[in-house]
Amino acid sequence: MRIALVAALVLSSGFAHADEGQWQPYQMPSIADKLAQRGIEIPAKQLADLTQYPMNAVVGLGYCTASFVSPQGLVVTNHHCAYRAIQYNSKTEHNYLESGFLANTKKEEPSAGPNERLYITETVTDVTSQVNANLSSDPLTRYEDIQSNRKGLIKDCETDDNYRCSVSSFHNGLEYYLIKQLIIRDVRLVYAPPESVGAYGGDIDNYEYPRHSGDFTFLRAYVGKDGQPAGYAEDNVPYEPKSYLKINADGVKAGDGVFAAGYPGATSRYRLTSELEFASDWMYPTYAKRYQLQIDTINQMATSNSDIEIKYAGNLASMANRMKKLNGLLDGFKATDIVGIKQSREDNFLTWLKKDADANHQLIAELESLLAEQNTQIQTDYYFNNAQSSSLLSAAKKLYRLAKEKQVPDAKREQGFQQRDMKMFAANLKRLDRSFDASVDKTLWLQDLNAYMGQNQRVEILDNALNKISDAQALSAKLDAYYALTTLMDKEQRLAWMDKDAQAFETSSDPFIRLAVALHDTNMSQEKTENTLKGKLSTARPEYMKAVISYYKANNWPVYPDANRTLRITYGMVDGYQSRDALYKQPFTRLEGIVAKHTGEAPYNAPQKLLAAIKANDNGQHTVASVYQDPRSWICRLFSCLDTPEEFNSVPVNFLSSVDTTGGNSGSPVFNGKGELVGLNFDSTYEAITKDWFFNPTITRAVHVDFRYILWMMDKVDHAENLINELELVRD
């Protein structure tokens, strides 16, 4: 079809702008011209202001992104981001993962769990000079000084218990920003489609395209009657956000400018080539192999036990996603010479640096020496750390660490063990029951212990604790005794240990407590070694980054920090791509694609009511005639568009854009040029996975749920009129 050719040439050719960048909001005015070129009409200055629409409606979940979409605290995010909330409320007798959930009234909205939080970023302040004040030249002391300065800033910021403050490093320690966030602690489940909709296609379609996933869920934020954040209570009331997103029911078309906002997790675009090679040669394959073993084990154990299936559903989904991403990175490194590209840039940087007589020409050599030390450290500690993977041992270690940390003033304690952390600390202990089965925990731990026993980097204290058992059967029997004799499987017993002193741990007969105590000094020594190296890197990395940024600016390349789970904005346009020879991926998928993929068996087992709604073809106002620009538009001023574009005449399910995203951007609102919500980010294409290391504008595409599909689901399938009435829908 000619329109596909036109789209391929225009939208994926050199005419397209390189939409690279996960920008800090304050940087928006500096790229105002790029936003305008993409058709982003909302003023860049407004996007930089976290107190204004739409940025004050974008919230974090701590691991994903969400946004307010009603004045009554209604929040939308991805289904996979709310997975644990759905799992938390699922039981054998009412499995909401399988059947979906809809609260018809607010009284029917259950707690999403004690760990669920919404974080609303209110201020971001440059505190680089304060963090770097009066630092020691000794590496370990320097690291401790940096942490002390960070904790001091956090303490001064957290004068109100309703706020959470953090100091994040940008550009590998070159800059630091103090981030202040309002915490909503009462989060409730409102509406989630079944997993057969939210994850349609499952792991097979993960990172693939075309996609037909209804990856969305609605939550609601609640506060006390005084309007202040509070823990869960039946008489709490919906939170009234400062603003909420307008939803454009007409959506977007191919070529439209879009932008997304969210909390991307981690990228490595400024890392050295040697770091990429270490990840590719050792880290990624090693981690992926372990994930696969764990996935296979849990799946096998869950086959005949629905309780295990529900409890470990979230863990399985998370591990499967991480494993496929790691394999995608490895495949991407083979398909595209990312190592060669990075090495070429690195060589060019060194050539540029040598022209500056005052520069430190040993920058990379000095950094490489430290990185070699770090790689050895990672490999040496890997099996020992995994050998401590039992959930009960992890709880015991944290509890004993808490008792030891309490022996020093709160300001001197390690982050995670200060008084400010105790609510979340307790919530984590409480939640363990919902995602724990002793037989699974023991089996996975035994696998890690056997892997530890089969390699050379042994640790004497652990060998002694296990009585130097080398026989697999004897080791299994010993672990059986651990689980039979422990009291940590009881929630109240776990919580009670939070108030006990170190001596109580050191005289305990509980086998997990005893093992945690035995391993403590070795773990602390390992942490000290790691922190000493971090202290050395806190000098080398910023010096390197300062020179790299100067080099990038000299080449007129975009300069933005690597992702670090802080609020960012990225822009692009709705766009397909040429995935390989003669195969162009169209930017939109249709309802009919769900039916075409349906087999009746997971992961292509769409619910009958959804299939019936598609068959009825009663889409009403949700029907979209065309997803391409008018032939008289700007596209046709470049090409002869004599052909009439193919009619769409369906409801768009998912769409592609060139926005620059990564993990953590899941659930990110996708906006049209006016700042109206048109979709939710939930994935990337397989070819784009390597963007964590290198951004290739030709093939890098993010995958979004089209909000027109969400509205269709709410209207025609689940009849969620109560929620539709809460939304502010606008049309072009």
To the nearest 10°, report the CA torsion of 321, 323, 324, 329: 120
Per the CB < 8 A criterion, the answer to whether 182 and 120 are in contact is: yes
Catalytic residue among 213, 280, 657, 666: 666
Using alpha carbons, select from 663, 660, 665 the residue that is nearest to residue 699: 660
Helix (H, G, I), strand (E, B) or coil at 39: coil
Which residues, 6+ apart, have CB-to-CB distance to 659 below 8 Å? 19, 258, 259, 260, 570, 571, 572, 670, 681, 702
Catalytic status, residue 212: no
Catalytic residue among 186, 215, 692, 706: 215
Whole-angstrom distance, CA of residue 494 vs CA of residue 491: 5
Contacts 24+ apart (CB under 8 A), 461-468: 461/518, 461/519, 461/521, 461/522, 462/384, 462/387, 462/519, 462/522, 464/518, 465/515, 465/518, 465/519
Q: Which amino acid is at 580?
A: R
Which residues on adjacent β-strands are paired with residue 650? 624
Which residues, 6+ apart, have CB-to-CB distance to 318 below 8 Å? none
Helix (H, G, I), strand (E, B) or coil at 230: coil
Catalytic residue among 80, 520, 598, 704: 80
Q: What is the DSSP letter of 108?
A: G
Using alpha carbons, select from 316, 372, 381 the residue that is nearest to residue 522: 381
Exposure string of 527-555, with b = 16+ CB inside 10 Å and e = fewer, is eeeeebbbbbbbbbbbbbbebbbebbeee
SS3 track for 45-107: HHHCCCCCCCHHHEEECCCCEEEECCCCCEEEECCCCCHHHHHHCCCCCCCHHHHCEECCCHH
What is the bridge-based pairing of β-strands 65-68 and 74-77?
Answer: antiparallel
Which secondary-structure segment (H or E) carries 377? Answer: helix 363-386
Which secondary-structure segment (H or E) carries 473? Answer: helix 472-485
Exposure string of 215-227, with b = 16+ CB inside 10 Å and e = fewer, is bbbbbbbbbbeee
Catalytic status, residue 598: no
Per the CB < 8 A criterion, the answer to whether 672 and 252 are in contact is: yes
Which residues on adjacent β-strands are paired with residue 683? 703
Whole-angstrom distance, CA of residue 320 vs CA of residue 202: 10
Q: Which amino acid is at 694?
A: F
Which secondary-structure segment (H or E) carries 177? Answer: strand 175-184
Catalytic status, residue 215: yes
Exposure string of 311-324, with b = 16+ CB inside 10 Å and e = fewer, is bbbbbbbebbbebb
Whole-angstrom distance, CA of residue 280 vs CA of residue 276: 6
Per the CB < 8 A criterion, the answer to whether 456 and 406 are in contact is: no
- Annotated catalytic residues are 80, 215, 666
